[in-house]
Amino acid sequence: MKHLGLLSILLGWIGFAILLYKGRGNSSISLSKHAVLTKASYFFFIIIFAITIPLFYLFTIKWLAPTLNLPKLFIDLISIGLIFQILYVLIPDLKGICGILHKFFAYSFAFLLIPLNIIIFTSNSLSPIGRFVSFASTLFMVFGLFFLLWKKGKLGYYLFFQIAYVLCFHASILIATYF
């Protein structure tokens, strides 16, 4: 179970790299916007998450939470977050109501990563390096969201911000798992 987290994270990032490479990534738009450029890329986007979400959820509830003695709140928040993730994957980031719903679920998921990271940080079972990485990544995520809100989401490098934000959460998870 321990390695399902690493496997799901690696598969996700390999999939995103392929998606961005095929779409010749524009750094001012999100991964979701890259996904809807073609039907094939959107289908690939769905496949990435259809594989990685169940793997990550199993890892979280069967290994991470019990090993780090994380509270039930962590399981509840990760469950809600992954439901949001499923919804934003299935609802494409297009104009109109689909775009509004997609953004609602995507940003709700993103906001949930902060309390999840804080819960990891407060675990008594976390190593000192795990605590440092979790703390530093939480700070980056909080300041990054404030910066994004201040800029009203209009960044010429939105994609890089999105990647760094998710990498912070993944770094916390992987360091907590392996160190």
The domain locations on the chain are 2-178
Q: What Rg, from alpha-carbon coordinates, does the chain have?
A: 16
DSSP conformational letter for 38:
S
Q: What are the two backbone dihedrals, phi and then psi, of residue 126, each rounded to the nearest 5 degrees?
A: -85, 140
| d(C-alpha 89, C-alpha 32), whole Å | 8
Q: What per-residue confidence (pLDDT) applies to 108?
A: 97
> Could you tell me which residues come within 8 angstroms of residue 136 by beta carbon, excluding any fewer than 6 positions away?
none
CA angle 121/59/160 to nearest 5° reads 65
pTM for the whole thing? 0.92
96-141 pLDDT, tens digit per residue, is 999 999 999 999 999 999 999 999 999 999 999 999 999 999 999 9
